[in-house]
Amino acid sequence: MPDYTFVLNPEAGKGAGRKAGERLEKLLSRFSRPYELVRTEKPGHATEIARVCGSHVVVAVGGDGTINEVANALAGTGRAIGIVPTGSGNDFIKSVGVPRQMEAALELIQARRERVIDAGIVQTGALQNGSMEYAPARYFVNGVGVGFDASVARRVREIRFLRGTPLYLLAVLRTLGKYHSPEFTCRTDSTQWSARKFLIASGNGRCAGGGFYLTPEAIVDDGLLDVCVIDDVSVLKILRLVPQVFAGKRVDDSQVNYQRTKELEVNSKESFNVHADGEIVGREVHGVRVKMVPGALRIVGP
């Protein structure tokens, strides 16, 4: 049985994963430990591969979505995830210190220093005959977005000709003019409120959406979920906030609020979208529950 299984997503980074795979194969020819390389063929396939492969370390070769799929197989098992980033946003690596360069990421994986970090559980809910019916729970590692940022994540899937930060900026601009802020009811460990909000972003990691630091002080092993709530503000105000969000620090504005909690529940009579680690997990839903699981995942990292 190989010590490592590399799970490569050829579609990561708008198809850049294919070229990354060719380069990875050349670099792995010098890898000193037993390994296998498996390419995914469909959504969810990375989870299936990681669940049955048996290797102690499963390396996600892709973006945040690929990391999410592998983590859903490994969380709670004591097996470890490694990361070779080849995606469009590559947000989670900014919080765990994994280098962007493939050679450096492989050196880190081969050194096999492991640490324990938190993961979260997310469930989306739909109204059925007047009551909320929740979908099966799934893990996330970086963050969950409710409202605008989830709508942006949905728009990202439609844009094929860009990668990285320009891709997400274009998706933001295309979403702004059509977006309507729902009225949410939100519950955390210490607060409960109902109001119309632009977005509710919750992070185990600091960054999402290809460089938007909505939860810039989040820590991946503190057992807590950082939450950023932005009021229902004008398009002009959002455009003014964007450069501040990119700066990597808390935004000093009365209409941007931060909180830490172990659990978060959001409901609305109006439908909204939900993303987990950049992947849409709820389309036109009416509820979402998020909960942190301290120490749920082992990761190969600094």
Contact between residue 237 and residue 248 where contact means Cβ atoms under 8 Å apart:
no
Determine, yes or no, domain membership for 300.
no
Q: What is the CATH number of the domain that holds 192?
A: 2.60.200.40
Token digits of residue 97? 């210190």
* 240 and 141 together in one domain: yes
Write down which residue in 77, 97, 112 finishes a domain.
112
* 152 and 190 together in one domain: yes
CA distance 83 to 93: 8
Q: Find, among 218, 203, 202, 221, the residue nearest to 295 by Cα.
A: 221
Strand, helix or coil at 64? helix
Token digits of residue 156? 């990202």
* 67 and 98 together in one domain: yes
Token digits of residue 169? 């900026």
The pLDDT of residue 293 is 98
Determine, yes or no, domain membership for 302.
no
Give whole-number Cα distances, 78 to 40, 90, 162, 204, 298, in Å: 23, 24, 37, 19, 6
Strands (E), 153-278: 183-187, 192-203, 225-231, 256-261, 263-276
Determine, yes or no, domain membership for 174.
yes
The pLDDT of residue 184 is 97
Q: What is the CATH number of the domain that holds 88?
A: 3.40.50.10330
Write down which residue in 62, 87, 112 finishes a domain.
112
Pairing of strands 192-203, 225-231: antiparallel
Write down which residue in 86, 112, 138 finishes a domain.
112
Q: Find, among 187, 226, 186, the residue nearest to 203 by Cα.
A: 226
* 60 and 37 together in one domain: yes
* 156 and 286 together in one domain: yes
Residue type at 280 in one-letter notation: I
Domain count, the chain: 2
Determine, yes or no, domain membership for 198.
yes
Partnered with residue 133 across adjacent β-strands are 126
Q: What is the CB-side half-sphere exposure of residue 259 using CA atoms within 13 A?
A: 16
* 98 and 243 together in one domain: no
* 144 and 213 together in one domain: yes
Pairing of strands 279-300, 114-128: antiparallel
* 250 and 130 together in one domain: yes
Domain range for 28:
4-112
Give whole-number Cα distances, 76 to 62, 88, 202, in Å: 22, 28, 21
User: Which spans in 148-289 are helix H?
Assistant: 148-156, 164-176, 235-246
* 132 and 260 together in one domain: yes
Determine, yes or no, domain membership for 185.
yes
Determine, yes or no, domain membership for 301.
no
* 243 and 158 together in one domain: yes
* 174 and 277 together in one domain: yes
pLDDT tens digits in sequence order for the chain, 302 residues long: 789 999 999 877 666 677 888 899 999 988 888 899 999 999 999 999 999 998 999 999 999 999 999 999 999 999 999 999 987 778 999 999 999 999 999 999 998 899 999 999 999 999 888 889 999 999 999 999 998 888 887 777 777 666 667 777 787 788 887 888 999 999 999 999 999 999 999 999 999 877 889 999 999 999 999 999 999 998 889 889 988 988 889 999 999 999 999 999 999 999 999 999 989 999 999 999 999 999 999 999 88
Token digits of residue 59? 């390396």
* 178 and 99 together in one domain: no
